[in-house]
Amino acid sequence: QSTCTLRGCCWSPKSDTDVPGCFFSSNHGYKVDRSTRSTQAGFETTLTRLPSPSLFGNDINTVLLMGEYQTPNCFRFKV
């Protein structure tokens, strides 16, 4: 619990062991900046970093996410 809170994460353990007790709040990560564009194999969209503390440094503020539906059981993504 102490390591989790030191990282700025949320601590809320559940009785279900498949659910992590330590997780990022909704203000961490990225959000879709623009509309999603369809491609031949899937989609692509621009993601913008949310204003939150940096965990590792050298954060990239804008990234391109490309998703590709390869088979019914396989989804490929590139950042």
E-state strands within the chain: 10-11, 22-23, 30-32, 37-38, 42-49, 62-71, 74-78
Helix (H) or strand (E) segment spanning residue 2: helix 2-6
42 beta partners:
68
16-45 pLDDT per residue, tens: 778 888 988 888 889 998 789 999 999 999
70 pLDDT tier (thresholds 50, 70, 90): very high
* pLDDT of the residue at 17: 76
Domain boundaries along the sequence of the chain: 1-78
Q: Which two tokens stand for residue 46?
A: 């621009």
**pLDDT of 37-69, one tens digit each?**
999 999 999 999 998 878 788 899 999 999 999
Name the range with the highest mean pLDDT among 6-10, 28-32, 68-72: 68-72
pLDDT of residue 4: 86
Residue at token pair 């390591």: 3
